[in-house]
């Protein structure tokens, strides 16, 4: 009992958040390179220009992972680094970097997992309309094929899109992420439809160009829900809220609009009705492309809402307790979501699940004894993983967990003010210090979670 014997214990990062060298190695501009230069968009004027300088330190970083006992590394490829304008020539210098990173991982016996899109839309594609331009479906597919052709001999895991909820919602609806726009609702639905078509096309191209059988997945996010009690009514109310559809003005933050099409081949009825006036033309052919079968389901999970059945038979949110536990960026600590989230997702989508991200930000400091005592992160992860283990024991097909993040990094509009890493990064010296949580996680991995 517990986790599967071959459970994939991992850590995750993304390209812009750690790489640095943004204008080196012939990289093209991405929307983030441009956005961070605007005034007052990013905390204290921070940029990802240097970030964790991973382009230069990747060998040491891989060695560090090996020392931490990490079994798998989920990283992303910056589209604008390997195809500077997104659709034209391939930049060999960019490809060579990832090639070498992958070789290091393989040597260290760390399973590489590629995410294709963790938000670096090439600026040249943005200028052509970005996600609004239907051609992006082919451009993204071509990019996916190029990556699969080159790396599938060594890489088995490919995730297409990371958190479409965020890159459309935060990028185009409330404008706090690149490209920082607030566009019409109509446009956001069309973008979302193209995102999912691009996902489908990528799945096809990965299969076509891979040198062997690979595993293809998707990595959306969203808040989860968990029931107030184990009564049938509360559980039913919770399941209902989990897959419910929000009002149009903040529509992107939900699960089913983004996952039902991909996993079940149809948009949720509730959404088709609620959003009708904003929707683009949706054809059967589109739905077929969008639901091109995938092998594994990734989900980024950070927290959730507690739900119970109301007196009137409608689900209600249970108020959080006064003084409830929170992380440094004020996200609630709700371990139950790592039990109920995967359980509901597995019931609905019936695919093996990987938690592609989970973790917390804390105000970590290096202590007088030169260590970083991040007890809160240890406690957080212990509680979350214990719930995940319970789900696995209850028959949910959970195959892996990637802690966000390997190391502190550029947290988007929050710059370097949030520290999510198991490893502390001093951004002036680029020194890395394993936090207590890194040693703790190593022990968990060694025991396959049996010591949680």
Distances 209 to 141, 144, 189, 392 between C-alpha atoms, Å: 11, 9, 30, 33
Any contact of residue 33 with ligand GCO (CB under 6 A)? no
Which residues, 54 to 73, sit near ligand GCO by CB under 6 A? none
Which residues, 141 to 200, sit near ligand GCO by CB under 6 A? 162-163, 166
Choice between 166 and 168, CB closer to ligand GCO: 166
Choice between 227 and 421, CB closer to ligand GCO: 421
In angstroms, rounded to a whole number, what is the distance separating the alpha carbons of residues 392 and 446? 18
Tell me how far, at minimum, the Cβ of 354 lies from ligand GCO, in Å.
Answer: 13
Q: Across the strands, what pairs with 227?
A: 307
Choice between 378 and 406, CB closer to ligand GCO: 406
Choice between 404 and 416, CB closer to ligand GCO: 404
Size of the site for ligand GCO (CB under 6 A): 10
| Residues contacting residue 163 through CB under 8 Å, at least 6 positions apart | 219, 220, 221, 300
Q: Across the strands, what pairs with 425?
A: 432
Any contact of residue 420 with ligand GCO (CB under 6 A)? yes
Instruction: Please count the residues of the chain.
Output: 452
Active site residue 387: no
Which residues, 212 to 231, sit near ligand GCO by CB under 6 A? none
Which residues, 295 to 354, sit near ligand GCO by CB under 6 A? 300
Choice between 14 and 392, CB closer to ligand GCO: 14
Any contact of residue 424 with ligand GCO (CB under 6 A)? no
Tell me how far, at minimum, the Cβ of 36 lies from ligand GCO, in Å.
Answer: 15
Q: What is the 3-state secondary structure (H, E, C) of 291-355?
A: CCCCCEEEEECCCEEEEEECCCCCEEECCCCCCCCECCCCCECCCCHHHHHHHHHHHHHCCCEEE
Tell me how far, at minimum, the Cβ of 170 lies from ligand GCO, in Å.
Answer: 9
Active site residue 208: no
Long-range contacts of residues 148-151, Cβ cutoff 8 Å, at least 24 apart? 148/205, 148/206, 148/209, 148/210, 148/214, 149/209, 149/210, 149/211, 150/95, 150/99, 151/98, 151/99, 151/102, 151/112, 151/114
Reference 344, options 413, 422, 255; nearest CA is 255
425 touches 52 (CB < 8 A): yes
Tell me how far, at minimum, the Cβ of 338 lies from ligand GCO, in Å.
Answer: 15
In angstroms, rounded to a whole number, what is the distance separating the alpha carbons of residues 47 and 30? 13
Quick one: which of 14, 225, 252, 381 contacts ligand GCO (CB under 6 A)?
Answer: 14
Which residues, 249 to 288, sit near ligand GCO by CB under 6 A? none
Active-site residue, from 111, 120, 124, 163: 163
Choice between 111 and 357, CB closer to ligand GCO: 357
Any contact of residue 408 with ligand GCO (CB under 6 A)? no
In angstroms, rounded to a whole number, what is the distance separating the alpha carbons of residues 408 and 423? 6
Any contact of residue 411 with ligand GCO (CB under 6 A)? yes
In angstroms, rounded to a whole number, what is the distance separating the alpha carbons of residues 433 and 422? 9
Structure tokens that stand for 336 in this block: 């139950």
Which residue lies nearest ligand GCO, judged by its C-beta?
Answer: 163
Choice between 124 and 163, CB closer to ligand GCO: 163
123 touches 30 (CB < 8 A): yes
25 touches 94 (CB < 8 A): yes
Structure tokens that stand for 440 in this block: 């703790």
Choice between 349 and 404, CB closer to ligand GCO: 404
Tell me how far, at minimum, the Cβ of 45 lies from ligand GCO, in Å.
Answer: 19
The continuous run of DSSP H or E covering 117 comes out as strand 111-117
Any contact of residue 357 with ligand GCO (CB under 6 A)? yes
Active-site residue, from 19, 190, 357, 418: 357
Instruction: Spell out, one character per residue from 368 to 407, where the chain touches ligand GCO: x when CB under 6 A holds, - when not.
Output: ------------------------------------x---
Residues of the shown chain interacting with ligand GCO in the complex, contacts defined by CB under 6 A: 14, 17, 162-163, 166, 300, 357, 404, 411, 420
Q: Which residues are catalytic?
A: 163, 357
């Amino acid at each position: 009992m517990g986790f599967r014997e071959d459970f994939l214990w991992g850590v995750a990062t993304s390209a812009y958040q750690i790489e640095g060298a943004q204008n080196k190695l012939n990289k093209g501009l991405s929307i983030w390179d441009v956005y961070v230069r605007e005034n007052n968009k990013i905390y204290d004027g921070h940029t990802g220009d240097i970030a964790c300088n991973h382009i230069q330190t990747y060998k040491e970083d891989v060695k560090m992972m090996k020392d931490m006992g990490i079994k798998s590394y989920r990283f992303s490829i910056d589209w604008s680094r390997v195809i500077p304008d997104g659709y034209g020539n391939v930049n060999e210098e960019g490809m060579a970097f990832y090639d070498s990173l992958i070789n290091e991982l393989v040597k260290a016996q760390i399973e590489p997992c590629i995410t294709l899109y963790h938000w670096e839309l090439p600026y040249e594609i943005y200028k052509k309309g970005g996600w609004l331009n239907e051609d992006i479906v082919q451009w993204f597919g071509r990019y996916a094929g190029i990556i699969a052709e080159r790396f599938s001999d060594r890489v088995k895991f490919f995730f297409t899109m990371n958190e479409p909820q965020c890159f459309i919602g935060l990028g185009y609806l409330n404008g706090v992420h690149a490209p920082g726009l607030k566009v019409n609702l109509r446009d956001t639905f069309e973008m979302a439809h193209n995102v999912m078509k691009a996902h489908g096309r990528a799945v096809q191209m990965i299969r076509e160009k891979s040198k062997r059988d690979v595993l293809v997945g998707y990595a959306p996010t969203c808040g989860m829900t968990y029931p107030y009690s184990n009564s049938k009514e509360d559980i039913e109310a919770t399941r209902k809220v989990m897959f419910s559809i929000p009002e149009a003005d903040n529509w992107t933050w939900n699960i089913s609009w983004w996952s039902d099409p991909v996993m079940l081949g149809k948009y949720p009825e509730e959404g088709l009705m609620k959003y009708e006036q904003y929707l683009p033309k949706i054809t059967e052919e589109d739905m077929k492309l969008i639901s091109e079968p995938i092998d594994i389901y990734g989900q980024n999970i950070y927290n959730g809402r507690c739900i119970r059945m109301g007196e009137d038979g409608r689900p209600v949110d249970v108020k959080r307790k006064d003084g409830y536990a929170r992380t440094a960026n004020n996200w609630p600590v709700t371990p139950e979501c790592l039990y109920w989230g995967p359980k509901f997702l597995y019931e609905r989508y019936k695919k093996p699940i990987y938690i592609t991200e989970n973790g917390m930000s804390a105000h970590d400091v290096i202590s007088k004894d030169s260590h970083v005592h991040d007890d809160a992160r240890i406690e957080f992860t212990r509680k979350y993983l214990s719930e995940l283990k319970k789900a696995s024991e209850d028959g949910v097909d959970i195959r892996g967990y990637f802690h966000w993040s390997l190391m502190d990094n550029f947290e988007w509009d929050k710059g370097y003010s949030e520290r999510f890493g198991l490893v502390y990064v001093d951004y002036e010296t680029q020194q890395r210090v394993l936090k207590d949580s890194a040693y703790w996680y190593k022990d968990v991995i060694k025991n396959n979670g049996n010591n949680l």
